């Protein structure tokens, strides 16, 4: 993937971030996921007054893709104010669909802060292979 393609995905996540529903934390997150088939899915964090019901941007993008029949992912961009990393729950959901998925973390100015893989973010991940008998 070229730097221009990565930047385009970051820009898409940053644009999505503007639609985040964050009345409590004031910490908007946007995600843009590209599947191996080339389709794009975005997500934003959606907070709830009952805090455990809040959903992260990364999981929303992934769940949208899965609901459309996509389960093989190439790359996901996550944009936060400060370039924060995906939470543990999101890392586990990403691991379900491939440890080699590239994860771009960018700040609100659209600048790439860190690039990793799901495997690097969640070493020793519990994956579907652990459930085989």
Note if 58 is an active site residue. Answer: yes
Active-site option among 5, 58, 70, 74: 58
Task: Specify whether the CB–CB gap between 113 and 83 falls below 8 A.
Answer: yes
CB-based burial, 49-82: b 16+ in 10 Å, e otherwise: eeeeeebbbbbbbbebbbeeebeebbbbbbbbee
Bridge partners, residue 81, by sequence: none
Residue 82 per-residue DSSP state: B
Task: Specify whether the CB–CB gap between 3 and 110 falls below 8 A.
Answer: no
Task: Specify whether the CB–CB gap between 4 and 12 falls below 8 A.
Answer: no
Active site residues: 58
């Amino acid at each position: 993937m070229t730097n221009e393609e990565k930047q385009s995905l970051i820009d898409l996540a940053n644009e999505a971030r503007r639609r985040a529903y964050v009345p409590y934390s004031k910490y908007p997150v946007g995600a843009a996921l590209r599947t191996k088939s080339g389709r794009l899915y975005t997500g934003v964090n959606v907070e709830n007054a009952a805090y455990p019901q809040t959903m992260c941007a990364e999981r929303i993008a992934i769940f949208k893709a899965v609901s459309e029949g996509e389960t093989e992912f190439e790359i996901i961009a996550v944009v936060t104010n400060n370039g924060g990393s995906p939470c543990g729950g999101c890392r586990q959901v990403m691991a379900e669909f491939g440890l080699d998925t590239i994860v771009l973390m960018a700040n609100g100015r659209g600048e790439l802060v860190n690039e990793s893989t799901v495997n690097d973010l969640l070493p020793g991940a519990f994956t579907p292979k652990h459930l085989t008998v």
